[in-house]
Amino acid sequence: MKRHAVRNLLILQIVVVVIAAAVLFFVRADAPFAGLATLYGGAMALANTLLLAFRTRRASVEKSSPRSQAAGLMVGMIERLVVTLVGFALGMGWLGLDPISLLIGFAVAQLAYTAGGRSLREAAVGSATHQQRQR
């Protein structure tokens, strides 16, 4: 997987989350730390993107069986789920951040991933195809 594809996707997510945080800072002025909660939700989505890129890169680089590569991707899926659940629990429970703002930050970052993830998928498919040709 090409690093520039991951970098571009992360930049897109960061820009979208910062814009959403600025908007929510003014729109939800009644909610305490609405902008911070939005940034926190976006950071959780960024962590998911990084974990997915790490696991995908690791699976594509390994010269092991497809079964072990699939198992590694499944571990990554569970890892991302746990990170997300713990992140929401910490953000809403322990830190007491505004739940709506936190969810909006997470959602806009995920939407940016969906919009910009095409380059990431193409990079992953391209590197997998390139590795198959080398074998």
Question: How does DSSP assign 29-95, residue by residue?
Answer: TTSTTHHHHHHHHHHHHHHHHHHHHHHHHHHHH--S-HHHHHHHHHHHHHHHHHHHHHHHIIIIIIS
- The pLDDT tens digits of the residues spanning 24-62 come to 888 877 777 877 888 899 999 999 888 888 888 777 776
- The pLDDT tens digits of the residues spanning 78-101 come to 888 999 999 999 988 898 888 888
Is residue 6 within 8 Å of residue 56, measured between CB atoms?
no
CA-to-CA distance for 77 and 46, rounded, in angstroms? Answer: 15
Instruction: Give the total number of structural domains in the chain.
Output: 1
The count of other CB atoms within 10 Å of the CB of residue 63 is 7
Q: Residue 24: phi, psi to the nearest 5? A: -70, -25
Radius of gyration of the chain (CA): 17
65: left (phi over 0), alpha (psi -120 to 50) or beta: beta
| pTM for the whole structure | 0.76
Domain extent at residue 128: 3-134
- The pLDDT tens digits of the residues spanning 56-74 come to 877 777 677 777 777 778 8
